[in-house]
Amino acid sequence: MPAITRRDLLKAGMAGAGALAAAGLGFDVAVAESTKVKQNLRIAGAKESHSICPYCAVGCSLVAYTRQNADGSVQLLQIEGDPDSPVNEGRLCPKGATAMQLATSPRRVESPQYRAAGATSWKSVTWEFALGKIAQNIKASRDASFVTTDGNGNTVNRTEGIAFAGGAAFSSEEGYFATKLMRGLGLVHLEQQARV
């Protein structure tokens, strides 16, 4: 067994005092806490999906974290700004930061709402009813407002009785399709949230 010198004894004592001081400052507690946080990270092992904030024309990128539960259901854990996006670089404005509420809010409206002419309240209807109603109203408005020629006798085949506004979450293809459809019906008043 090697002999312990006075210098060795002093070094051992200083190391022990240092460890005691660190414990006194709470370093060991902090390490334990950080390990616990890492183990309990809400998004650990979650599936990462990319999307776009639907609220405005800036089009900030989002990352949604989901996990499949044992019963097969998919649980949305977190939505945050995408740090790889050149648009928002991981940031979201206060409105976009609430994007998760779109999916999880107990106040979320989950079916089309309809208020009949003269009625004072809205009622939930099926998509089949809502789409049928929209189609009927478009036809009625188009029939009532369609003009084939303008005041100078030029052929115009248009309706100014209907306007259409696209949303910021439209993809290029959806925007193209919607524009084709609306122009085909003779609409001239088309707008897109990205230009507002």
Q: How many chain residues touch ligand SF4 (CB under 6 A)?
A: 11
| DSSP assignments along 6-43, one per residue | HHHHHHHHHHHHHHHHHHHHTHHHHHHHHHHHHHT-TT
Q: Dmax over Cα atoms in the chain, in whole Å? A: 114
Indicate the residue type of 162.
I
The closest residue (CB) to ligand SF4 is 96
Contacting ligand SF4 within 46-65 (CB under 6 A) = 53, 55-56, 58-60
Residues 29, 31, 36, 41, CA torsion sign? positive
Q: Closest by alpha carbon to 90, among 100, 104, 79?
A: 79
- The stretch among 30-38, 92-100, 138-146, 147-155 that binds ligand SF4 (CB under 6 A) is 92-100
We find the least distance from the C-beta atom of residue 190 to ligand SF4, in angstroms, to be 21
CB of 54 to ligand SF4, least distance (A): 7
Q: Considering the rule CB under 6 A, would residue 93 count as an interface residue with ligand SF4?
A: yes
Q: Residue 14 contacts by C-beta under 8 Å, 6 or more apart in sequence?
A: none
Q: Are 175 and 166 in contact (CB under 8 A)?
A: yes
The residue among 40 and 171 lying less far from ligand SF4, judged by its C-beta, is 171
Q: Which residues pair with 160 in a beta bridge?
A: none
Is 150 in a helix, a strand, or coil? coil
User: In this complex, which beta carbon is closest to ligand SF4, that of residue 55 or of residue 170?
Assistant: 55
Q: Identify which of residues 99 and 182 has a Cβ nearer to ligand SF4 in the complex.
A: 99
* Residues within window 147-186 making contact with ligand SF4, judged by CB under 6 A: none
Segment interacting with ligand SF4, rule: CB under 6 A, options 10-18, 90-98, 134-142, 174-182: 90-98
Contact between 194 and ligand SF4 (CB under 6 A)? no
Q: In whole angstroms, how close is the CB of 98 to ligand SF4 at the nearest point?
A: 9
Supply the Cα-derived Rg of the chain in whole angstroms: 31
Contact footprint for ligand SF4 (CB under 6 A): 53, 55-56, 58-60, 88, 92-93, 95-96
